[in-house]
Structure formats: C-alpha cells, structure tokens
C-alpha cells in the first residue's frame, strides 16, 4: 500500500520534513516513490505539490494525519495557510483572576439595567 507521509531530515532538535509517497513497508528514511514537497515546522515554511498529492489519494494512497492537515491547509501555490491561535494560554492564577473580574462585572451590569 502506498502512503503519503513525512520523511524526517535535519539534525537533532531541528527537524524538517519531506512529504513523500512511499510504500508502507519501507523505513521512515527509505527510498520514496515520489517526493511531493517539503515542510519545516519551526518556520512554518512549506512547498507542496497538492495536485500530485490529490492524484495519489485518488489512486488509493493513504495519507497520514499530519499530511492530511497540510493538504487541507495548503494554498493554491503550495504554501501553508498558517493561522496563529488567537487565544492565549493562561496560568491557573491568571484564569482565576479573570473569572473573578467577570463575576464582579456581572452584578454591576444587572444593577445598571434594573435602574434603567
């Protein structure tokens, strides 16, 4: 079975990947059937031949979860359409302060609407 998956390159703690169509029995760094592009997760840089990947999928190839994400979020020219998460992760203390501030604002708003 042919799979579309990532082939790891780069040195320790600095990965970059090639997106390849490869036999599922091959090693991770084995000889690919076809190279479809590359992806660098640190810089979010990607060049990907989406048309060839979709053609391979139509022929029965299986894509890994990460590659399906890359296919779905690729632009027409094969670059990644990366969206930064808008929400910030807060510590438990910061979350507690935020909830406390919201709780104090809610009664004040209720009083303001009751007076009007």
Query: Average of pLDDT values for 28-33?
Result: 85
Nearest C-alpha neighbor of 7 from the set 33, 32, 41: 32
Query: Under DSSP, is residue 79 helix (H, G, I), strand (E, B) or coil?
Result: coil
Over the stretch 31-86, which tens digit does the pLDDT of each residue have? 889 999 999 989 888 898 989 999 999 999 999 999 999 888 888 888 888 777 67
pLDDT band at 108 (very low <50, low <70, confident <90, very high): low
Q: Are 70 and 46 in contact (CB under 8 A)?
A: yes
C-alpha 104/C-alpha 58 separation (Å) is: 57
What is the per-residue pLDDT for 17?
94
What is the per-residue pLDDT for 105?
80
Token pair recorded at residue 70: 């890359």
Class of domain 2-72: alpha beta
Q: Where are the domains of the chain?
A: 2-72
């Amino acid at each position: 079975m042919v799979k579309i998956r990532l082939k790891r390159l780069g040195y320790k703690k600095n990965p970059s990947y090639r997106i390849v169509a490869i036999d599922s029995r091959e090693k991770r760094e084995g000889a690919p059937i076809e190279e479809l592009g590359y992806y660098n997760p640190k810089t979010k840089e990607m060049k990907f031949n989406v048309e060839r990947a979709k053609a391979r999928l139509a022929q029965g190839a299986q894509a890994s979860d990460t590659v399906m994400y890359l296919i779905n979020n690729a632009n027409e020219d094969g670059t990644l359409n990366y969206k930064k998460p808008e929400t910030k992760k807060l510590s438990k203390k910061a979350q507690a302060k935020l909830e406390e501030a919201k709780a104090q604002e809610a009664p004040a708003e209720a009083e303001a609407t009751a007076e009007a």
